[in-house]
Structure 1
Amino acid sequence: MSSRRMTTIAGTLVTASFSAVMILPFTAAADEGPASGKGGKAVDAAPAGVKLTTTLPSQIDVDNSSQETALTASVKNEGTKDSGKIRLLVVGFDGMTVKNVQGCSPIAEKDLPEGSNSGFACAIDNLAAGKSESYDVDATFDLSKTGKICLPVQTSDGKKTFWQQGPVPFGTTNPTPNAPATPLLLGTDNKPVAPGGDALPKTGSERVMLPLGAAGAMLLTAGGAGLWWSQRRPRQTD
């Protein structure tokens, strides 16, 4: 029977592991801009000479009709020694749902971290010093809500998290519901189009309003109240 431990560090989600069974060997065009490690921090100590980090694009574009988007998630070993077996997780929260990560395996719903809606695990046999791996991510983003993404880098068994970026938001403070796509910036809480005076004009004389749902009304500040990740560990036997 597994034990369950809840931990917070500096108000953000910082550690994760999943059951051993989870250790598995038109989208909108992404105008990604420069890669960014915003919202990332080291967690558990990595082996000597290994320094693992991740990056996300500074901007993504969400198709306003389909809500589809695409981005690149990357992990890099900035150290002087090889990493050995590790895994990268790509996890969606709130209005951001990860639909596919090329070359990676979906995380079963029962093994998702608390509060997340989707996730994929990318097994990496070894990441040499100075090298990186990049993964194409397909996702949807409900523009009536906030949305976040998280990239933990763990041991292959998930018992240690060497680095974690996020959960970091994508969003805009200037919604554009009548344009073909809405650009979202990394590290920005999404501001959905509100009813009334906050509605944006169409091209021409007509005006439209998108209703703000209850979920969208409660905007979470990045790095604020903090998110929890439940940690499962196998039973220890004598």
Structure 2
Amino acid sequence: MSSLRATTVVGPLVAASFSAVLILSFPAGADDQGPGSSKGGKPVDEAPAGVRTTTTLPQRISVDNSSGKTSITATVKNEGTKESGGIRLLVVGFDGLTVKSIQGCDAIAKKDLPEGSNSGFSCPVGNLAAGASKSYSVDATFDLSKTGKICLPVQTGDGKKTFWQQGPVPFGTTNPSPNAPATPLLLGTDNKPVAPGGDELPRTGVGRDVLPLGAAGAALLAAGAAGLWWSGRRPQRQAG
């Protein structure tokens, strides 16, 4: 069990696209998730020589239509030739996608979440050897009457640098199945809401990807067509 306290998200986080593949596994619904994908990911701050961190999300997930529950496997990997040093993975939900729990990770306080995010967890990955990876089972809910996104930044342990960020990338379907037991959602697809009048729901775009931070008062700017800059107060150092 992690002894770390939830920390404030620090450093610029930038959304874009990247390409890498990693096979994921998850005990519940693994057959529905397909291979992992780094879609919507991009390096941000320069990593130390020989270190190359990436993340992957399943290409598809399945949402229970009665409960809204879903499971997502989030994986971080060091594809470099040297150890990563101490790093952490953040898992942040937006709009209809709410992250409920991740074993071994700490919830990010509501006041420390960026505007537009409804939930987030900080996972202390530690030092990843070259070629090593670590996967986290994410328990989440998805409100099918809304669009939903998820974001996976990889930061130094103190949050001062962000080596990589995947997202905010959407999960969704253009063919809702309200009468079925579950609705399959695809990575990189804007959700078509099930509720009446859903076609009029504002879609997430550049305006939603530029997330102003309230408490810290930092200025946030868009970076490209799908940019995101996200800053926060410096996290407290943890004892020993």
Per the normalisation by structure 1, the TM-score is 0.77
In the alignment, the residues of structure 2 paired with residue 212 and residue 141 of structure 1 have an alpha-carbon distance, to the nearest angstrom, of 18
Q: 1:217 aligns with which of 201, 217, 222?
A: 201
Structure 1 residue 124 displacement after superposition: 1.8
Identity of aligned residues (%): 70
- Matching of residues 131-146 of structure 1 within 5 Å: 131-146=132-147
Structure 1 residue 141 displacement after superposition: 0.2
What residue number does 2:73 align with? 72
In the alignment, the residues of structure 2 paired with residue 104 and residue 234 of structure 1 have an alpha-carbon distance, to the nearest angstrom, of 19
What residue number does 1:226 align with? 209
8 Å contact kept, 1:102–1:136: yes
When Rg is computed on C-alpha atoms for both structures, the one with the higher figure is 1
Task: Name stretches of at least 5 consecutive residues in structure 1 with no aligned partner.
Answer: 15-27, 194-209
8 Å contact kept, 1:13–1:226: no
What residue number does 1:60 align with? 61
| Alpha carbons of structure 1 residues 94 and 13: separation in structure 2 relative to 1, 3 Å | farther
Task: Name stretches of at least 5 consecutive residues in structure 2 with no aligned partner.
Answer: 1-9, 18-27, 212-228, 236-240
8 Å contact kept, 2:12–2:161: no
| Alpha carbons of structure 1 residues 175 and 234: separation in structure 2 relative to 1, 3 Å | closer
Structure 1 residue 112 displacement after superposition: 1.2
Per the normalisation by structure 2, the TM-score is 0.76
Structure 1 residue 213 displacement after superposition: 6.0
Runs of 4+ aligned structure 1 residues displaced above 2 Å come to 5-9, 210-214, 223-230, 232-235
In the alignment, the residues of structure 2 paired with residue 109 and residue 151 of structure 1 have an alpha-carbon distance, to the nearest angstrom, of 17
Aligned residues: 198
Q: Which amino acid aligns with 1:231?
A: S
CA offsets per residue over residues 149-204 of structure 1, 9 Å max, x none?
000000111111000000000000000000000000000000013xxxxxxxxxxx
Where 1:103 maps in the other structure, the secondary structure is coil
What residue number does 1:29 align with? 29
Q: Which amino acid aligns with 2:203?
A: L
In the alignment, the residues of structure 2 paired with residue 94 and residue 43 of structure 1 have an alpha-carbon distance, to the nearest angstrom, of 24
8 Å contact kept, 1:38–1:187: yes
CA offsets per residue over residues 191-236 of structure 1, 9 Å max, x none?
013xxxxxxxxxxxxxxxx33469x711224x6763324412449x
Backbone CA RMSD of aligned residues: 2.5
Structure 1 residue 102 displacement after superposition: 1.6
